[in-house]
Structure formats: C-alpha cells, structure tokens
Structure 1
C-alpha cells in the first residue's frame, strides 16, 4: 500500500497550492528593548526564573504529599529538592516507553509507588523521540498519557508515517513548504519531516500547523504553573567548516517556550523563541520588523530528531521509503541541496560578540540532539543556573545490537561535562562496569554521597512486562504494541512494582535536601546508590 501511494505521490503533489498557516510572518519588534539577545552568563531569563519559582512552590506541595506516603517521617519535611525529568531519544520506542514513565509518575493516571512525582517536577527535557513526547504532552496542554493513547496515538501510530493523513496530508505539507518559501525562508527535509510527525503527535487542524513552541506559554496548564517547564535539545553542525556531523563537543542548543540558545562557550547566548527567524545583528533587530511563527512546533521537534545529515549527500536521502517520501515532497518546492539535510535557522547570534563560534555565520545548521553522543538530554538540566537537585534520567537508547541501553549516553554527558568544567554532573562509571554490575537493567542513583553534584536517578529500558527493545526504525505500531510499551514504561518508572522502591526513592531524593534521613534509608542507599 505504501509503495502504491508513493507511485502516485509525485503526480498528485504538483496540485498543492500555498497554505499560509505554516509560514512565518512579519511583526513589530518589541519596543521595550534595543536588543533581543542576552548573554548566558546572566543566568536564567527573568521570565523563566519567575515561572520556575512559582512552579517550584506547587511542585513542593506535590512532593511533600508523595513523600508522606512513602514514610511518615517525611510528613514535616520543609526543605525540598528541585526535580526534573529527562526523556531520551530512540524514536517511537523512546516516545512510548517514556510516556509510560510519565504515566507511572502521574497521580491522575496511575496508582503505583511513583505516582505523584510528575506533579513534583519543575522541568522536563527531551530530545528526538523524547522531544516528540515533550511536544505531544506540552503541545496538547498536558493531558494524561492514557488520554493521548486513546484519543490520538492509537489512531495515528497505527499507520506508518508514509501514510500519515494519506495523500491529502502530503499535498498539504507541500503547500506548507511552498508558503514558507514564498515568505522568504528556506525549507529543508526537516520541514517535511516535522510536518509528517505532527499528524501523529499533535491535535489540531492540519497536524497542529498553527501551534508554535512559544505559544505553549499561553496554555492554561503553563500559565497556572501546573506542569513542568518543557525543553527540547538539538546539536549544531559547523557546515561552513565542511562538517556533516557534530563531534562529541558539538554545541548543545535548547528550545523552550521562552528562549532558544546555548550555554556552551562559543555561543553562550539566548534569544526569545517567539522571534526566531528575525534578522538580527549583534543582538539587535536589523530593522523595525521582526519575525514570528518560525518556531512552528513540528519544526522544533523535527529538528531535534533530524538525522538526514548522516547521508551527507542529498541523492542518498531517498534510500529508504521515508526518505523517498520526504525527497518527493521537497523537490516540489526546490531542487535538493546539501543544506536540506539540516534544520536551518537564521542565526540570531550573527555578529554577537560573545558568540565567537557562530558570529560570522548567517545561518545555524542543527541536527538530532543525540548526534554528539548525549542521547539523554541532561545538558540543559545540569546547568547551575537552573539549580536542579535531582534528575530522573529515562534511558531508552539502543546502544547494543539488541536495542538496549548500556550506559554509553550518560557516560558521554559526564565525559563532556568534565571536559567543559561543568562540575554539577556526578561521576559515571564505564560501560564495562554498567554491564558487569547490571546497572543498565535496574534503577541506579548516581551522586548520592556528594552534596556538590546533582543526584541522577537512572531509569533504563528493561523488559519488565514486554520486549521493549523494538527497533528505532519501527514507524508503525498497532494499538496493542502501543499499550504494551506504555505499560512497560510504567514498570520502568516503578521498578516493576518492587516493594521497597518508593520508600528508597524518597531516601535518594531527600538526601539532596540535607535533611536528617530516617534509619530505613541506610539500607536503601546501600542498595540503590552507585557512589
């Protein structure tokens, strides 16, 4: 069926007409400031700092309630750690398994030992498949995972991306790309990729075409501080120096409803997400008009999962069915070129003095957030400015030949953090140690006994109730498979229902508060803490 539709696609796509909803538009620049860019050295933006403070107050109430359920000794706890969740990449395996972890944390949606921790999170970061999860949750105003499964995913994941919304959907996507080109902006394979994904991930007309990342800040759950702050990550590639892929120290960029930018030296700056696509020089608008709408949500999570640069030759992109479809869509807009293998962004840090690595470039080229080897998006969460104490690191990577994690990704973040002098990251053992001690098959607490580092609660993929090591390349899921992966994710969150996990997890969390721990914590920390 897919091949039959592809045979008809080239002819039918030529009928696409402009659909302006996807195109960025000109708008007035904010009048309150002469610059839109701020230096990372200033810490968090005022907007994020204010929002996170309000969110932390609500999260603390939820954490206090959860702690009291684990051990009555915590009933009077007052100083509570700041919590975050990091959802790894790994295609739909990561999205669905990670969704199960959220369900296992969400007191609205489950009744296991970890239920209630979702309400206690201040931040949630994702990349690639994890970014799809962040976008599907935050981009739909934070519904329960169960409602996403029955109301959206069961229908949309049952058809491969090749058939998303049928040929009419593909024609709409061509029209979207034509409108963006007509507005004066380059389109690439990442545009068509993000648009296809959106039909499966977002509610709304034309696959949520009107949704922007900055628009999430207007959602009711966001404005009432009832959900964690969403972040997606991507990696920069120095195409101007002949690179096709980033190295291990490639610049880590982050997208949030408030800002886009990087903490890394060489960029070390942020711009309001709402004004991505604007022409800036040394942080200031080049004219009286700015651009809005470039942060279309599908383009954001499409960029976080863009792997087309691995081909590095445009003609090689169509070696697979999905590549063929994307290529057929793109060539109806323009002839393919090397730049089409990346997510492209007009550089907001052009001629900005602190962004020495990119200040001479008018365009940023971004790819999958995992291409630097950090498939768990810990980087934005270990920045000292955010003051996070405990991170749940959900690892659904396919490091082994059998699609299981083996510690490679979290180790790479530790190695990179060490090289960059970022001391908040706890020590992580070698892959050999992960395998020999089975650290990749059970929850592990890293950083327990060092007050100067963040505690990372490592939650790796494991087949508690289902063979959850499905291929990253699997693009089609029957409802039974979706349900099974989500259910196994609940088991990942709660350590398969192990009786002592909730109380011991409370010990691991509260050790970072500096509070006196109950005597029961001694055995717990001996069992779950690595160092």
Structure 2
C-alpha cells in the first residue's frame, strides 16, 4: 500500500509549488486554553468518560437485557456485565468484515439471533483498518452499516483515491487536499506523509464537505447519538516509536496510545498521562501552555487520527533496498528532498503534550511524539485500553481480521502476543490464551472461541476470527479498491463471522458467554455451549 501511495505523494509535490496558500478547515487554529487542566496523570478514566458511562450503562444494560430475553427468556436480566467490541487492523478487509459483524449485532439493520447485542455494548475499539471502520461509524453519527454501504463505501471503495488513476480523474479533490496540507504548514505544523494519506482516506470514510475536512475526533461529542448516550464509547489506538534512538519500528512492548473523543494518552508506565483531545497540537511544558493561555484546536482532525492509527510508512525507514530503483527511488527522493511542502518523515508527528511532565518518564524529554500503525507491535487487536481495571469491562468481543497466514487470515498469534504483553504489564484481567500451534491444532483460528470462561478474575474474550464462510475474505491488506460486489460480499461474510456461519444455536451460546460470570442461573443449554466453545 505504501508503494502505491508514494506515487500519489510524488504527484502532490509536482503540483505543490504552484498551489496558492489559502485557509482550510484542516489547519489547526489558535484558541484560548480551557480552565480545566490540559494534562492529568493516568490514575483512572477521565471525569468526562465517567460521566458518559454513568448515562450509557443503564441504556446498554436495558438493551443487553432485551437481547438476552429475545435469545432465551430464561436468562436473568438483574445483573448484567459490561461488554465491549474490538475490530482489528487489516485495511479494508478488516473494515468490511468488521462492518458485517456489527451489522449482525445491530437490531436497526438485521433480524438475526445476534441482532440487538450491539445496542448493549458499552465500549468499542479499533485500530488501523478497524480504526477506519470505527471512525466512519462514529464520525458519521453511527448510521447503519446498510446506509454506509449504499451511500458512502460502495462508490468510494470502487473509485478509491488511494489509486493514482482515480485521484487523477478527480482534480478538485487533488487540489483541495494540497490546499489543506499547505494550510496546516502555514499554521506552523510540518506535514508528514500521514496528512495526505489521512485526507484521501477521509473522502472514502466521512460524509462531511471536502471529505470531512472539518470533522474532528472531539466533535463526536456533539453528535446526537453520542449526546444521547445511545452508542458505545469509541477508542482508537496507535503506537509509539522512539525515533530519537534511531529506531523506526516499534518493539512488542512499545507504548500503546489511545485516542477517544475526550482524551489522548496512555496508561502505560512510560507515559502514564492523558491530555484533552480537543487541544491536541498545543505546545505544552509540564502540562501547561508554553505561551500562557495559548492553545490550539483543530489538530485532532479525524482523518489525521485514523491515518495515524494505520500509518505503515515507517516500514521504509530502515528496510530500504540499497539498489532501489523506480518507485522506491522516487519515494526516497520524495522524503529527503526539500520542496515547497516539506514532509518530515514517514511518522505521524504530534507536539508532545507530556513534554517535561514528570509522570511521563519515557517521553518527557521529547518535543514531538512519533506515532505509527496500532498493530505494528504484533498486537493487532486493540485490547490494552479495555484491559484497564478502571474500565471494569467483563466481556470483550474480539473480531480478528489479521493477515497472519499466507492466505491473509488470523492464526491467533496477535491475541497470544497481547496475552504475553499483558502479563508483563501487570494487566491481570487478560485471560490465558494459547500459542499459535494450539490455535491451529484446535481450529480456534476458523471459528468462535471463548477464553477465560472459568476464571472469575478474568475478562471473558469471545474470539471471532475472519473466515471465508461465503466469500473469499482473505483479501490483501494492501488492497485499496473494492468493486461493489466485493464490498457487498465482504460485509455479508462478516455477518457469517459474527454468527458462526448463521448457526442457529450460536446466539444462545454467545449469550451464555456474555452472562456466565454474573453468577446468575443459566439456561440448561449453556453447558453444551461451554463444552463446544470454551478454551479452558
């Protein structure tokens, strides 16, 4: 994907010298700082998130209870768990499969045994392609998947602007993106490769004018489904790379950053702090503005953030062939030469809100944070934010669309890596997950599996791996253009992933997994479900 995209960047730079510098909704703008602290230590979730949950939980519990009663009236609704959903990385393969999973859970959009579970979720997280999906869903005020498919995704993916020929056929888009990048540079922020990348993705994922150019992550808090607490709390993840040490790729234990409509930061010990999302881009020192009262807004452009979560261009930082020719040589020249528009590097660059902050020992000396794709640490499912004790989550539905095998399907290695890293990080709520050899030997990579069933100290993970039930869903992560029939086929196959191939009894087994640890009496059929689906 980054090789194809380099052609686009070259064409941008050929055009840039003649482009006028004008205002754009993409550029950060000065603002008066809020009266509330800009940075806080990560002692728990924020007061804003707590307030959202206080209103969301009763709504989610009522919906979860309604779904359980639909599945089997014998289920108790008196003591209901907190349920979350994650969608992995994997480009459009993951976006479309994840969309089908949500569609199968959404009572507004389908009438299946699983329909209604989505209304009972409290959290939803995504990274990379899963972050694209979550951004498109949340940034557009949570429409149905059917609506997004028909009115946005199908035409946009068929004529993807990440394909040079398609962008060349849309000169107005091309010129607008150039204007946006120049405006950000004029505001004092050196653009990186993620800026045009995120802008072009936004044209495919957001409804707003000029590809959602004025859509910010923080602005989701003003959308009607969020203000009415009808939707799960969204979180997108990205990874830290310590470029100051000459490193270009994150290690498996790198810092995992989370973006939400309220905050950006990390619970990881090296950062241990959060800042307000609305004021990302502000120049801070020890949690206060360097220029008293002076902050910035608009830096949290939703396209830039979803581009950050899927930024794989850092792979070229060290693994660049010495004998590169053609497109690779052009790309090398692109990122090293000086142009009217200067691309710093292949990383998403954020002014470090934790600069000189004493609780952020790992990054406190860095003026900028360099972030990349949330799945590059071999943890392609965004679980770390949901394993935090302060979020009190009981069940996580994990839709894994990773390309671990040569056929672009998951093999359990990403979930196993998260299990291993969770042990090192002291996240004790992560249930035991076996290594890849056990996954493959038992077929856990091609069917649902429940982890943590019999340990009341652990979260239950309902693992839903991508499998080609009705469509060849093992598409390459680098595939950025889908025909209408492919888009439809992938989404429908995602429904199959959520329902175990439309298995008539799976909805009840899923319900059994969701409520097992409540201590309530379960329907008699649950024991057979646990025998079939529980790992432990």
TM-score normalized by the length of structure 1: 0.94
Partner of 1:73: 74
Structure 2 stretches of 5 or more lacking a match? none
Measured at CA, do residues 428 and 3 of structure 1 come closer, stay the same or move farther in structure 2, by a change above 3 Å?
closer
Q: Give the match's secondary structure for 2:396.
A: strand
Partner of 1:282: 286
Partner of 2:307: 302
Measured at CA, do residues 445 and 331 of structure 1 come closer, stay the same or move farther in structure 2, by a change above 3 Å?
farther
Native 8 Å contact 2:403 2:410 kept in 1: yes
1:251 and 2:255 matched: yes
Native 8 Å contact 2:193 2:345 kept in 1: yes
Partner of 2:128: 128
Native 8 Å contact 1:382 1:388 kept in 2: yes
Structure 1 range deviating more: 16-25 or 306-315: 306-315
Structure 1 range deviating more: 358-367 or 163-172: 163-172
Partner of 1:242: 246
1:217 and 2:218 matched: no
The C-alpha deviation readout for 1:276-320, integer Å capped at 9, x for no partner, is: 011111111222111101100000000000011110069889975
Native 8 Å contact 1:6 1:325 kept in 2: no
1:464 and 2:469 matched: yes
Partner of 2:442: 437
Native 8 Å contact 1:189 1:327 kept in 2: no
1:530 to 523, 528, 535: 535
The C-alpha deviation readout for 1:248-277, integer Å capped at 9, x for no partner, is: 000000000000000000101000100101
Structure 1 range deviating more: 309-318 or 456-465: 309-318
Q: Give the match's secondary structure for 1:21.
A: coil
Q: What is the rounded CA distance, in whole Å, between the counterparts of 1:16 and 1:65 in structure 2?
A: 56
Measured at CA, do residues 272 and 2 of structure 1 come closer, stay the same or move farther in structure 2, by a change above 3 Å?
closer
Q: What is the rounded CA distance, in whole Å, between the counterparts of 1:2 and 1:501 in structure 2?
A: 41
Question: For this pair of structures, how many residues does the alignment match?
Answer: 525
Q: CA RMSD in A?
A: 2.4
The C-alpha deviation readout for 1:4-49, integer Å capped at 9, x for no partner, is: 9999765544442234211101100012x3x3111112x1111101
Q: Give the match's secondary structure for 1:439.
A: coil
Measured at CA, do residues 2 and 178 of structure 1 come closer, stay the same or move farther in structure 2, by a change above 3 Å?
closer
Structure 1 range deviating more: 452-461 or 51-60: 51-60
Measured at CA, do residues 37 and 319 of structure 1 come closer, stay the same or move farther in structure 2, by a change above 3 Å?
farther
1:150 and 2:155 matched: no
Aligned-residue offset at 1:335? 3.9
Partner of 1:206: 210
1:26 to 22, 30, 40: 30
Aligned-residue offset at 1:52? 1.2
Q: Give the match's secondary structure for 2:445.
A: helix
Measured at CA, do residues 8 and 374 of structure 1 come closer, stay the same or move farther in structure 2, by a change above 3 Å?
closer
Q: Give the match's secondary structure for 1:234.
A: strand
1:48 and 2:49 matched: yes
Aligned-residue offset at 1:524? 1.1
The C-alpha deviation readout for 1:100-153, integer Å capped at 9, x for no partner, is: 101011011111121111101111100000000000000000000110011001
Q: What is the rounded CA distance, in whole Å, between the counterparts of 1:128 and 1:293 in structure 2?
A: 21
Q: What is the rounded CA distance, in whole Å, between the counterparts of 1:3 and 1:300 in structure 2?
A: 20
Aligned-residue offset at 1:476? 0.6
Aligned-residue offset at 1:186? 1.6
Q: What is the rounded CA distance, in whole Å, between the counterparts of 2:338 and 2:146 in structure 1?
A: 39
Q: Give the match's secondary structure for 2:203.
A: helix
Q: What is the rounded CA distance, in whole Å, between the counterparts of 1:243 and 1:313 in structure 2?
A: 8
TM-score normalized by the length of structure 2: 0.94
